[in-house]
Amino acid sequence: MSLETRREGARVQIRNLVKRFGDVLAVNDVSLDINPGEFITFLGPSGSGKTTTLMMIAGFEIPDQGEILIDEEPIMFTPPYKRGIGMVFQHYSLFPHMTVERNIGFPLKMRKNDKQDSAERIAQALELVKLPGYGKRMPRQLSGGQQQRVALARALVFSPRVLLMDEPLGALDKKLREHMQLEIKQITQSLNITTIYVTHDQSESMTMSDRIAVMNKGRIEQIGPPTEMYDSPSNYFVADFIGESNFLEGQVEEVEEDGCYFLTDGGLRCRVSPKPQKATREKGHLVIRPEKVSLAQPGQSFTNQFDVIIEEALYLGDITVYWSRFIDGGATLTIKQQNRFRSSRIKKGDKISIGWNEKDNCIV
């Protein structure tokens, strides 16, 4: 069967997964449904439980509690090599004494695959990762990016319905890393394979994922599409971990049908829409992304508009970053603006009017 033949990816279900290492609770009651053909990323800092969760799906770690199912079948007691899962590790784990084609063909050999079919699959896999003609080379003769492609080809050559990837781009430089992000996404889409990806790089997760599961201290803090995670974070941790945010402390002043008013500790009254999951007088933080803040032009007004003093301006070519302080309220605010119109003429010490609309901020 050709690697390019489209088939439905597997459904992966995780139920109340728990894993301890001594006194450390590495994974704490994680539950998740992953749809067939979906690309989902476990995102979080070191020690958040994302790799441990991945290793339990792969079968290299045994859960203390919980259940894992692939296409409704429990796999808790199925050995890793019988789960039909492709795996790409952070450091590739290629066999240094084997040629590229033997590395790629190793999973087929373990499955006692027909030699003719294996040869065809290896050739297809090399084409898929854009390495035709590299079959006779040794891993030491390849660049880091090429080794990563071989590891991906090896994981895909036996047509798994689930692909697991544990920070596979961590050893690559920035430019190659960004290029490979798009390639991996395109390959997994073309094969319609269910992909579970682990990274601590929030930009990488935003680029590649259908959904992101943000993990912290062994739990999933929030799961959703990249746009939802960025624009509507469910709590302070998610808002702080994904992207850059301004946080203004305060409390909900008044809740209405379609929104609310938030009063900062410095006395700034801001309109927020839609209605938050907080009650009147409940404490929280107003979240505003730096690029959502606009420099008010003459005659222009915003739902939330205030006067600030520019304390510092940093020109970065395509954008300028401003550090400002509210004249009323005293809090600081970071602003990012594209370098066009009059924004590049604003300098340290200037008093200006800034603003944002009610849908451009949220409360956590």
309: three-class secondary structure by DSSP: strand
Q: Token pair 């094969």 is at which residue?
A: 191
321: three-class secondary structure by DSSP: strand
DSSP code, position 167: S
Query: pTM of the entire structure?
Result: 0.91
**Spatial separation of the C-alpha atoms in residues 133 and 289, rounded to whole Å:** 48
The confidence score (pLDDT) of residue 341 equals: 63
Rg of the Cα trace of the chain?
A: 25
Question: pLDDT confidence of 328, banded at 50, 70, 90?
Answer: confident
- Output the six-digit token pair for 37: 């053909």
Kindly tell me if the per-residue pLDDT of 316 is higher than 80: yes
- The two beta strands, 85-88 and 162-166, are parallel
- Cβ(32)–Cβ(223) under 8 Å? yes
Cross-strand pairs, 287? 247, 362
Question: pLDDT confidence of 342, banded at 50, 70, 90?
Answer: low
User: In this predicted model, what pLDDT tens digit does every residue of 59-112 receive, in sequence order?
Assistant: 999 999 999 999 999 999 999 989 999 999 888 789 999 999 999 999 999 899
Kindly tell me if the per-residue pLDDT of 3 is higher than 80: no
**Spatial separation of the C-alpha atoms in residues 188 and 181, rounded to whole Å:** 11
User: In this predicted model, what pLDDT tens digit does every residue of 119-138 receive, in sequence order?
Assistant: 999 999 999 999 999 999 99
User: In this predicted model, what pLDDT tens digit does every residue of 167-211 receive, in sequence order?
Assistant: 998 878 888 888 899 999 999 999 999 999 999 999 999 999 999
Sign of CA dihedral 298, 303, 308, 312: negative
